[in-house]
Amino acid sequence: MIKEKRLNNKIIYFIIFIIVIILLALLVKANLTLKDEFENSDTIIFLGNEGIAPILYNEKGRAKGVAVDIAKALGKKTGHKIEVRGVDWDEAQNMLLLEEADALLHINPNPEREKIYDFSDELLESEFSIFIKSGNISIKKVDDLKNKTVGIESGGYPYTLLENYDGINIEIITDWQKGFQDVASGKLDAIVVDRWIGEYELAESRVKGIQIIDQPIEFQYSRIAVKKGNKELLSLINNGLKEINEDGTMAEILSKWKEKRVIYLTEERLRSTFLYSIIIVLGLILLISLYWINKLSKLSKKLESDVKQRTQELHNSNKLLRKANAELEKISMSDGLTTIPNRRCFDVVFQKTWDISLKEGKPLAIIMIDIDNFKLFNDTYGHLAGDQCLKSVAEGIKSIIKRKGDLVARFGGEEFVVMLSNNTEDGAAMVAEDMRMKIESLQIKNQKVDSVITISLGVAATIPRDDMCPYDLINWADKALYQGKEEGRNKVTRFRSLYNNF
């Protein structure tokens, strides 16, 4: 009987021991799960293009660069752990769409990307420039890249940028050093890339015989992209960017560019909790579980309240943004100095008018205009007088245009362009002569050349055909303009007469 009782007690002790072991194992697993969830929820994963030093690159398995330091600074301001990975750029974009990461660093917006991403406020200025072989005089601007072989990075903004220009042969570059060597040897005609990246790569690789076209194709500010609809993360990033710009952190990163280490205490706290939970007795298991449930419940309620508040704030902000965007769109189509339409506006209207003229078989005329001796005027009287001269010339040209559908725009610098729909070269030449006389009658003194401000005008017209490029018409007018300047300035030159002389 005694032996049987002892046996029963051993069995009971063994069962209790097994239960305690199982409960401790469950406790360990629960704490590990909570630890993982807490860390994952507190960590923001940024992906960047691994091949764009000094913006972002990998060194000994770690992501480095200006964008990396900015991301770490954002982590400091927002209280989140930041993980930055440098990967293949196409792979990075796919990983974000698959929600394997939270955001993309240093990406330029375009219409296609705006369909799938939401973009932060401005991050870094991008100056997309053309790199060519030294002494290559055949390429001076982006239009000269037609029928040329141009190298670009895979998945980058330059690909979208060059798609707007017909006839450019695009080649993907996987090794920048080899790419620049191919330009120097003539295998590639040019490379289009962010100027900062290109110059850094040239300095690192020491490739010689490369020059940069002074006039960039486009200026842009890169952004941080999140998956479409992730408004909470986007708001967090924008608030962080605002703080590091206002407190000088951004300026310090850009000027000094040295790695900054971000220290977090959350991991240490989790370890302490984990170690403590292992040694607690069975009676505290329930209390710890209730503690975490209560804490997470409060956190969930607080997060829900914050989300509702931010949703309302975003709703109000979106109203203001829509109104501001409408104003910005209007401003972006006008020249800030002369208030007439700018080059961007002209390109849009010209393409539409070309398509209509092509469909209806009607003529279309272009007048290219350049202010004579403007640099001398600017050097003599100063930039303020030069700005006033540009305004006066713009107003004078605009005063001659009466018909609906015609357009006067500032083409760049001291150049203007006039589009005359349904007009022949003869008719356009008469309008150009009126403009020439109008500007001359303004009697704007130019002491440097002992005369008044005058303009030279090149006129060209055609009936568009399917086999023609719209910018051929602009080039014809431009050739006529510069022929007129070579022949003494202050005159109207017609492309037809110039062509007949060839």
3-state SS record for 411-472: EECCEEEEEEECCCHHHHHHHHHHHHHHHHHCCCEEHHHCEECCEEEEEEEECCCCCCCHHH
374 lies in some domain: yes
- Could you tell me if 106 and 48 are in contact, meaning their C-beta atoms sit under 8 angstroms apart? yes
Residue ranges of the alpha helices (H) in 98-165?
A: 111-114, 157-162
At a CB cut-off of 8 Å and minimum separation 6, what does 214 contact?
none
End-to-end CA distance of the chain: 128
> For residue 130, what is the DSSP state?
E
pLDDT tens per residue, the chain (502 residues)? 666 666 677 777 778 888 888 887 776 665 555 444 434 457 899 999 888 888 898 988 899 889 899 999 999 988 889 999 999 988 999 999 999 999 999 998 988 889 999 999 999 888 899 999 999 989 988 889 989 999 998 777 888 888 888 889 999 998 888 989 999 999 999 999 988 888 888 888 889 999 999 889 888 889 999 999 999 999 999 999 999 999 999 888 888 654 433 332 333 344 555 677 788 878 788 888 788 888 887 887 888 888 888 878 878 777 766 765 555 566 788 999 999 999 999 999 999 999 999 999 999 999 999 999 999 999 999 999 999 999 999 999 999 998 998 999 999 999 999 999 999 999 999 999 999 999 999 999 988 788 899 999 999 999 999 999 999 999 999 999 999 999 999 999 999 987 764 3
What pLDDT was estimated at residue 197?
86
Structure tokens at 412: 């760049």
Task: Looking at the structure, tell me whether residues 262 and 384 fall in a common domain.
Answer: no
CA neighbours within 13 Å on the CB side: how many for 90? 6
Q: Whole-angstrom Cα distance, residue 177 to residue 191?
A: 12
Helices (H), 79-194: 89-97, 111-114, 157-162, 176-185
Would 1 be classed as within a structural domain?
no
Q: How far apart are CA 51 and CA 174, in angstroms?
A: 9
Answer yes or no: do 191 and 157 share one domain.
yes
> Among the residues of 58-156, which ranges form H helices?
66-78, 89-97, 111-114
Same-domain status, 197 and 228? no
Burial of residue 54 (CB within 10 Å: 0-12, 13-18, 19+) is middle
415-421 and 407-412 beta bridge pairing = antiparallel
**CATH number of the structural domain spanning residue 181:** 3.40.190.10
The count of C-alpha atoms lying within 13 angstroms of the C-alpha of 405, restricted to the half-sphere facing its C-beta, is: 12
Structural domain range at position 71: 41-123+223-266
Task: State residue 137 phi and psi, 5-degree precision.
Answer: -90, 0
Q: How many domains does the chain have?
A: 4
Q: Is residue 427 domain-resident?
A: yes
Pair (380, 473) in one structural domain:
yes
Same domain? For 482 and 358 the reply is: yes
Same domain, 454 and 430: yes
In a domain, 280, yes or no: no
* Interacting residues of 461 by C-beta distance below 8 A, sequence separation 6+: 363, 364, 365, 366, 420, 423, 424, 425, 427, 428, 473
d(CA 111, CA 152): 19
pLDDT at 53: 81
Cα pseudo-dihedral 327, 354, 129, 177, rounded to 10: 130
Residue at 262: amino acid letter = V
Burial 75-103 (b: 16+ CB within 10 A, else e): bbbbebbbbbbbbbbeebbebbeeeebbb
Do the beta carbons of residue 418 and residue 396 sit within 8 Å? no
Catalytic positions, please? 414
Q: Are residues 377 and 463 in the same domain?
A: yes
342: left (phi over 0), alpha (psi -120 to 50) or beta: beta
Residue 15 inside a domain? The answer is no
This model's pTM is above 0.75: no
- In this structure, the answer to whether residues 356 and 439 fall within a common structural domain is yes
- Neighbouring CB atoms inside 10 A of 471's CB total 18
Residue 106, sorted as left (phi over 0), alpha (psi -120 to 50) or beta, turns out to be left
Indicate whether 464 and 427 sit together in one domain: yes
| Token code pair at residue 76 | 């400091």
Cα(348)–Cα(359) distance, integer angstroms:
17
Q: Pick from 202, 213, 188: which is nearest to 137 by CA?
A: 213
Rounded Cα distance between 72 and 491, Å, is 60
Both structure tokens of 55: 């913006």
Domain assignment present for residue 333? The answer is: no
Q: In this structure, is residue 26 part of a structural domain?
A: no
Asked if residue 240 is part of any domain, the answer here is yes
Same structural domain, 232 and 374 = no
C-alpha R_g of the chain? 33
Interatomic CA distance for residues 99 and 75, integer angstroms: 20
Distance between CA 480 and CA 486 in Å, rounded?
10
User: What distance in Å separates the CA atoms of residue 115 and residue 105, rounded to the nearest whole number?
Assistant: 18
CATH number for position 417: 3.30.70.270
Question: Are 302 and 390 part of one and the same domain?
Answer: no
In terms of phi and psi (left: phi > 0; alpha: psi -120 to 50; beta: otherwise), the region of 450 is left
CA separation (Å) from 383 to 125, 127, 232, 254? Answer: 26, 25, 46, 31
166 and 92 in a single domain? The answer is no
